[in-house]
Structure 1
């Protein structure tokens, strides 16, 4: 075996040129696809040398030499959240379609980690940032040397393109579905609202819709971020039981702020032996796959997450290419997926 191939040192373009018995310029042309400038014999020699050495060009170095890294960063608060993963799938496909690579950073809902990654990325050669912030207040992003597109949430005093759900439309759709199906005592359960614009929009819309229906009672409770612990679940069950007991003559339902919380509410209802719509209806924002199989199915507000991810990249690419127009919000309508958890009285068996 050739000594160059057996060494542990990573082969270089000089090694390829030496083995192929050609100049480095010829190898560079081959790697850049400039095949017309090379004879068939030279191309064959270079290809053979690359295969023998198992040579892999340093794509980052090549990109920087061209003045473009083709790197996009996606900063998310919780990589276990199906919403974030589904948005990422659309974003990654858009990156692939346009010759970009996606770099994902998970903050795990830690403001310290979020700050760390923002500082770290500013020293990297990323061309743009897709940012799903933990809170609406973030230290100024104007100093960062790349364009930013926000996902889901706004940031105070920072003007940028944003892609997300039309929360007013979606919350109206959810609340009216419950009212139209005969639920006249509705509890909206949310994780922390302050500093998260999307949650604030949903809760405020819920309150507004309920206020226009004088025979309907509407309560809101705000709980801490769920940790899946038995203690948290028991506390949640206690709060639901208090709501249930407060309206003995009304038909009761719960709206959940997101998919992760919907699962915890379903488990709490099971603890209370209230896990059917004749006792307490349940509707959740987001439509995780398990929502179709828990009980007889949980009604959900489905977000077009894949399309949202793809649209996010398209906005970012415009900025990367120099677009200086006014920042815009691209808001997608939610789709109501009706299942047995919110069946009307007329359909009860």
Structure 2
């Protein structure tokens, strides 16, 4: 017969501490809440000794609920595999530590249904506020927090119909900065590569800014070049989520051509179609240059502008596999986000102030928790262009 496992020792309660210290539970509660002026030095010493002898650990959740404060905040994150999210989280955790808050982190793994379920869960935990960096959360899903008395701060993305503070990159300015850099460096063709952006405001802003810069410099038209676009502008051809829409400046006369490629990283077949479209464009540019008797072999210059680091990594891995280690002699790459591998490969990036974004988001939330009643605030922080060999002349 197997012996019975030893019983788990019973945890000491506030009643045990009061009995050990020879006082009442009210005095113990005052000690735990820091109300030392209500206790004599001798009584404080007895309570401290009793807590140490019994190894008493107060139930912070129960104490917080009793006072209506538990210092818990929820953090709903779309994708913890994205370096951007990890870096934002580092700033948020530092701010939580400084402000005495405890983050409850929920990873939705880019699943809209998981986002909805986590938001419901956070309300049952009575969190004091929520920071949201999510993929497809809609206004009705956030209503229990944003409109239900629980403050919410959005990171990087706005939600239509929800009035809340938002902290993130100045997406328009960042996309404009990158597009102008590529134009100024004489590229003949620029492809903006972005994940599906119908539900994600930051992606929409970046793609729209790309088109607007091209248009402002006389380089945009609504002609489609194949594939399926998003956002209600030129589209035709390939079925599926991945697609291409064109923004061009009459490629026949050698002027700059621009395109948007929608690349759904969650759909391998769609990714394959989109990358094949890029391959055809890169190969065609190389063939045209080599056929010219008046231009060097690298005269036709193509640049890819990745909307974020996951897209940039997908492109870089594919291009290296197809064209070898010297792939950047055929095509340049610029990315919003500055992952560590970008420096190793000489890829130009627009670095986001990720740590500051996370820190500011928690500061904004803390102010709302403490009762700040200002109108909703947008804190848009600038990106920094890090020019590397990939996009230089």
TM-score by length of 1: 0.89
Q: What's the offset of the Cα at 1:234?
A: 5.1
Q: What's the offset of the Cα at 1:55?
A: 1.1
Aligned length: 335
The CA distance in 2 between the partners of 1:135 and 1:184, in whole Å, is: 35
Contact conserved, 1:163 with 1:331, CA < 8 A, in 2?
yes
Aligned to 1:244: 282
Q: What's the offset of the Cα at 1:37?
A: 3.7
Change (3 A) 1:198 1:136: farther
Gaps of 5+ in 1: 1-5, 345-349
Match of 1:315 among 335, 340, 364: 364
Summarize deviations over 1:135-175 as a string: whole Å, max 9, x none. 26442533433111111111122222111111111011111
Aligned to 2:185: 181
Change (3 A) 1:125 1:187: same
Aligned to 2:245: none
Gaps of 5+ in 2: 1-6, 220-248, 250-254, 290-299
| 1:198 partner SS | helix
2:343 pairs with 1:292: yes
Change (3 A) 1:91 1:28: same
2:161 pairs with 1:162: no
The CA distance in 1 between the partners of 2:81 and 2:280, in whole Å, is: 31
Q: What's the offset of the Cα at 1:110?
A: 0.8
Q: What's the offset of the Cα at 1:217?
A: 0.7
The CA distance in 2 between the partners of 1:226 and 1:283, in whole Å, is: 22
Q: What's the offset of the Cα at 1:281?
A: 0.4
Contact conserved, 2:139 with 2:161, CA < 8 A, in 1?
no
Aligned to 1:260: 310
The CA distance in 1 between the partners of 2:113 and 2:181, in whole Å, is: 40
Aligned to 2:295: none
2:334 pairs with 1:283: yes
The CA distance in 2 between the partners of 1:291 and 1:256, in whole Å, is: 12
2:354 pairs with 1:305: yes
Contact conserved, 2:115 with 2:137, CA < 8 A, in 1?
no
Match of 2:205 among 201, 209, 222: 201
Contact conserved, 1:17 with 1:24, CA < 8 A, in 2?
yes
Contact conserved, 2:64 with 2:70, CA < 8 A, in 1?
yes
Q: What's the offset of the Cα at 1:316?
A: 1.7
Aligned to 2:16: 15
Map 1:26-105 onto structure 2 (within 5 A). 26-105=27-106
Summarize deviations over 1:14-59 as a string: whole Å, max 9, x none. 1112223333233223222233443444333322322222211011
The CA distance in 2 between the partners of 1:148 and 1:241, in whole Å, is: 43
Aligned to 2:154: 150
Contact conserved, 2:110 with 2:134, CA < 8 A, in 1?
no
2:130 pairs with 1:129: yes
Change (3 A) 1:136 1:33: closer
The CA distance in 1 between the partners of 2:142 and 2:211, in whole Å, is: 33
Range 29-38 or range 303-312, more displaced: 29-38
